[in-house]
Structure 1
Amino acid sequence: MLDSIINTTLLDDVMKEDPTTNSFQDFIATLSGHEDSLLVMSGTMGNRVALRTALLAPPYSVLLVPSNGHHLTLKDVEKHANLRDDVYDYPTRIISLENTLSGTIMPMEDTREISSWARSQTPPIHMQLDGARLWEAVNAGAGTLKEYTSCFDSVSLCFTKGLGAPIGSIVIGNLAFIKRARWMRKILGGGIRASGILCAPARVAVEQVFLGGRLRQSQDTPQQFSKLWLSLGRKLQHPTETNMVWLDLEPTGIDEERFADLAENAGVKTTRGHLQGRVVFHYQICDRALDALVNLFVELLKSKRSVFWE
């Protein structure tokens, strides 16, 4: 990635002058089966740009309520969507899904059912996907990238997180949508000069990490870790389907600060104050750190004098 940054072009993306950026946006659009795409600074900006682009004017409502605790289903959509066009109503204009959600995968069958229903309405309801971690779902074999993105009118994908690029996300849609999205990006302060310095490492991340198969390690390891945790008589908050493990710490009496201390002593960095039992595995985590963490947990959880119960 560093080599790609050193050798990239440094022209202006606001004026659509940078060949590295233009080529990369065309590459992602083709990879996802859409007409066009737009580089943005972050996943938060990508989601906001997509929503602002799709929602032309209020009033409206956005639907994002899963009743099964795992993923939104067509039954949820049909129950909660407001299809009336009355002065006292707030019609549902967008169905916003997230895949993965807490590391769990939105099934392809449910995605297609909701998409088909949304597009059959008059007017059609815009389908938007927060796909920051969609790479993980695809890598787990839940469906191809094009199969998932074809169900949506707009998609936001992130090049940091699991792919490891230093910065950047991208919004995908048709030509008219991306043209308007450029306005929204400018309004939000997202115009990028010398944008090649962002696109060059992002392309390396997509080609070498996603297409190159490196994400497999970030999913094999958490599966082993989850099985170990369960074998010790512990529970998970959510099933381990991709690169996230959600440890149920409360029944064990484990203090999160102590958990973070022990993990970092073993060479594994955690996010203090936001842990909530979530452990996210990256393909670049070294085996030595993981072995140290696993061995530590085994000894502590098996010991009656564990420091977790001091």
Structure 2
Amino acid sequence: MSTTNFSAIADQVKLDILSKTHALENAAKRKEIARNFVSDTITVPTEEMYAYATLATLGDDVYFEPSTAALESHVAQLTGKEAGLFVPSGTASNQIALRTHLKQPPYSVLCDHRSHIHKYEAGGAAFHSGAAVIAVVPSNNHHLTLQDVKDNVILTGNIHFAPTEVVALENTLNGTIIPQDEIVAISEYAHSVGLKTHLDGARIWHVAAETSTPLKELCDPFDSVSLCFSKGLGAPVGSCLVGTKEFIAKARWFRKLFGGGMRQTGILAASAAYALSHNFPQLPRVHALTKRLEAGLEEIGAKILSRAETCMVRLFRLALCDASLNARQIFYDPSTIGVTYDEIAERGEALPESLVLGGSRLVVHIQTSDAAVDDFLATVRQLAKEKKAAGFVKPEGQVNGAVKDVYVRRGKKLAQ
């Protein structure tokens, strides 16, 4: 039998995660975030958000937590739904929603091929719900249309197919806004043939800010909606799933089943509430800054074929494939000025105050600084100038009726 006294065990258990320079490190991290274009998920709580969060109630959310219940009720009312459920993440919210809608297999979920539900949730629809996914490429290369849905939905009783039971849309998707009249048309059709509709509205806040459309109007066409607090709104954790009282009661059960029941969530709910009050009003500035970033890239010489609509700069590049040119979506393409992503990232990192870049995607968020945008554009402009001085020019040729980019350096043609 061990004779170690308890005080020795307690000494072993002790842990202090705060360094002596903790406050300075946090200040440095906030400064770094202001120059990070990788995603809006990297936003961090401000000191004011922290201070507000410490005032939250101390209930247990598996039973009842007052601050969390107040948040759920507010978001439900804001979106015109009967009830809400606070969950740890957008992925949890989407997957709980699908599992709640889907009753008896076989069945399928129809969505955009680029959607988070399809590409970035680790095959959750198949794992959690046993659902097949019908991933549709929009015919207009922008958003799913009613005709896209009609052309791909499975309504037959043929036993070879998994009938569609849910149509899931995402708004925004990669920063683009689905026209509301298209959403209404898709929803009306889906409901007319007995299907449910779900909205991954992780960034629906951006749609409301850009179009001045009330959240209720944006969410009315859907049976369930997921809204994220930790992306564009800058809260540390959490999403809210909304729907009918019956739907949310069942979703709460699945949240527990999936391991998503949480305890003292008041501090997280308070952070989300702070974000709604103080960070949502910042989104128009985010969109204006994104458009300034896009205009600067265009002025330097980058080819932009799809305008920035909210918080992401989105460019397209024509890729040669099987003797035909097809649009391949990327977020921005510096090859039109002879520059690579790696060159921009390396030059940005080498600045006295580094820029953090993630390759082909540029995301502006509530903590992005004006200076970061200026420094990014100055970096790209300088690289373009150096490439031009080295002999890069860009004539445009036609291939199958579409533009093909060709670079010339010291007389040698390099097809891109």
1:295 aligns with 2:411: no
Aligned length: 300
- Do the aligned partners of 2:93 and 2:240 also contact (CA within 8 Å) in 1? yes
Partner amino acid for 2:282?
A: R
User: Map of 1:1-310 to 2, 5 A cutoff?
Assistant: 1-15=49-63, 17-64=64-111, 65=136, 66-121=138-193, 124-141=194-211, 143-210=213-280, 213-236=281-304, 238-246=306-314, 247-264=332-349, 265=351, 267-271=354-358, 275=359, 277-303=360-386, 304-305=388-389
Deviation at 1:243, TM superposition (A): 0.5
- Do the aligned partners of 1:107 and 1:142 also contact (CA within 8 Å) in 2? no
* Shift in CA distance, 237/52, structure 1 to aligned 2, threshold 3 Å: farther
Q: Tell me, what secondary structure is at the counterpart of 2:309? A: coil
Report the Cα distance in structure 2 between the residues aligned to 1:3 and 1:96, rounded to whole angstroms.
Answer: 37
Report the Cα distance in structure 2 between the residues aligned to 1:75 and 1:241, rounded to whole angstroms.
Answer: 23
Deviation at 1:283, TM superposition (A): 1.8
Calculate the TM-score normalised by the size of structure 1.
Answer: 0.91
* Shift in CA distance, 134/34, structure 1 to aligned 2, threshold 3 Å: same
Deviation at 1:179, TM superposition (A): 0.5
Q: CA RMSD in A?
A: 1.9
Deviation at 1:20, TM superposition (A): 0.2
- Do the aligned partners of 2:338 and 2:384 also contact (CA within 8 Å) in 1? no
Report the Cα distance in structure 2 between the residues aligned to 1:204 and 1:162, rounded to whole angstroms.
Answer: 13
State the match for 2:20 in structure 1.
none
Deviation at 1:305, TM superposition (A): 4.3
Deviations 1:203-231 (A, max 9, x none): 11112122xx2111110011011112112
- Do the aligned partners of 2:339 and 2:383 also contact (CA within 8 Å) in 1? no
Deviation at 1:134, TM superposition (A): 0.9
- Do the aligned partners of 2:301 and 2:336 also contact (CA within 8 Å) in 1? no
Q: Tell me, what secondary structure is at the counterpart of 1:45? A: helix
Calculate the TM-score normalised by the size of structure 2.
Answer: 0.69
Q: Tell me, what secondary structure is at the counterpart of 1:46? A: helix
Deviation at 1:170, TM superposition (A): 0.9
- Do the aligned partners of 1:108 and 1:142 also contact (CA within 8 Å) in 2? no
Partner amino acid for 2:299?
A: S
Deviation at 1:251, TM superposition (A): 4.1
Report the Cα distance in structure 2 between the residues aligned to 1:42 and 1:163, rounded to whole angstroms.
Answer: 14
Partner amino acid for 2:339?
A: I
Deviation at 1:252, TM superposition (A): 4.0
Report the Cα distance in structure 2 between the residues aligned to 1:254 and 1:10, rounded to whole angstroms.
Answer: 53
- Do the aligned partners of 1:268 and 1:293 also contact (CA within 8 Å) in 2? yes
Partner amino acid for 1:12?
A: D
Deviation at 1:237, TM superposition (A): 6.1
**Identity, % of aligned pairs?**
41
Gaps of 5+ in 1: none
* Shift in CA distance, 233/257, structure 1 to aligned 2, threshold 3 Å: closer
Q: Tell me, what secondary structure is at the counterpart of 1:162? A: coil
Q: Tell me, what secondary structure is at the counterpart of 1:140? A: helix
Deviations 1:217-258 (A, max 9, x none): 110011011112112221236431001013123444433233
Q: Tell me, what secondary structure is at the counterpart of 1:254? A: coil
* Shift in CA distance, 230/59, structure 1 to aligned 2, threshold 3 Å: same
Deviation at 1:267, TM superposition (A): 3.5
Report the Cα distance in structure 2 between the residues aligned to 1:218 and 1:230, rounded to whole angstroms.
Answer: 18
Partner amino acid for 2:146?
A: L
Partner amino acid for 1:228?
A: G
Report the Cα distance in structure 2 between the residues aligned to 1:109 and 1:3, rounded to whole angstroms.
Answer: 42
